[in-house]
């Protein structure tokens, strides 16, 4: 496999491991963004968003709250059958003990 070692792990410096974009990519995006949306234009857009929220537009209200306070934590409770305790069963395969080489 390309970009992986003999054990299948990504090699150091491999660019296809996912995660955050590089700082260079972010800087390029920010330059383009600031040309298309100068500060004055951003302020006009935010004014319109605020006006929509004040008029009761739920999508605008949600957007404003998520940016001001962050999305609420979504909690998922995991329970067993009919809401009872969750039962975890662990089964071990019978294998002969391995001898350690000295």
Residue ranges of the domains in the chain?
A: 38-72
Whether residue 38 has pLDDT greater than 60: yes
**Using one digit for the tens of pLDDT, what is the confidence trace for 8-27?**
887 776 665 567 778 898 99
- The lowest-confidence range among 84-88, 89-93, 97-101 is 97-101
**Using one digit for the tens of pLDDT, what is the confidence trace for 49-82?**
999 999 999 999 999 999 999 988 888 888 888 8
- Phi/psi for 43 (5° steps) reads -65, -40
Contacts of residue 53, Cβ cutoff 8 Å, sequence gap at least 6: 60, 61, 63, 64
What percent of the chain has pLDDT above 90? Answer: 44
Identify whether the C-beta of residue 28 lies closer than 8 Å to the C-beta of residue 17. Answer: no
76 Rama class: left (phi>0) / alpha (psi -120 to 50) / beta: beta
């Amino acid at each position: 496999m390309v970009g992986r070692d003999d054990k299948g792990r990504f090699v150091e410096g491999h660019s296809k491991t996912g995660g955050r974009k590089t700082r260079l990519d972010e800087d390029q995006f920010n330059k383009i963004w600031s040309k298309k949306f100068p500060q004055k234009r951003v302020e006009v857009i935010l004014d319109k968003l605020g006006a929509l929220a004040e008029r009761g537009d739920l999508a605008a209200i949600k957007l404003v709250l998520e940016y001001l306070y962050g999305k609420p934590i979504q909690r998922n409770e995991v329970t067993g059958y009919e809401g009872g305790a969750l039962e975890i069963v662990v089964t071990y395969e019978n294998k002969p003990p391995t001898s350690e080489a000295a």
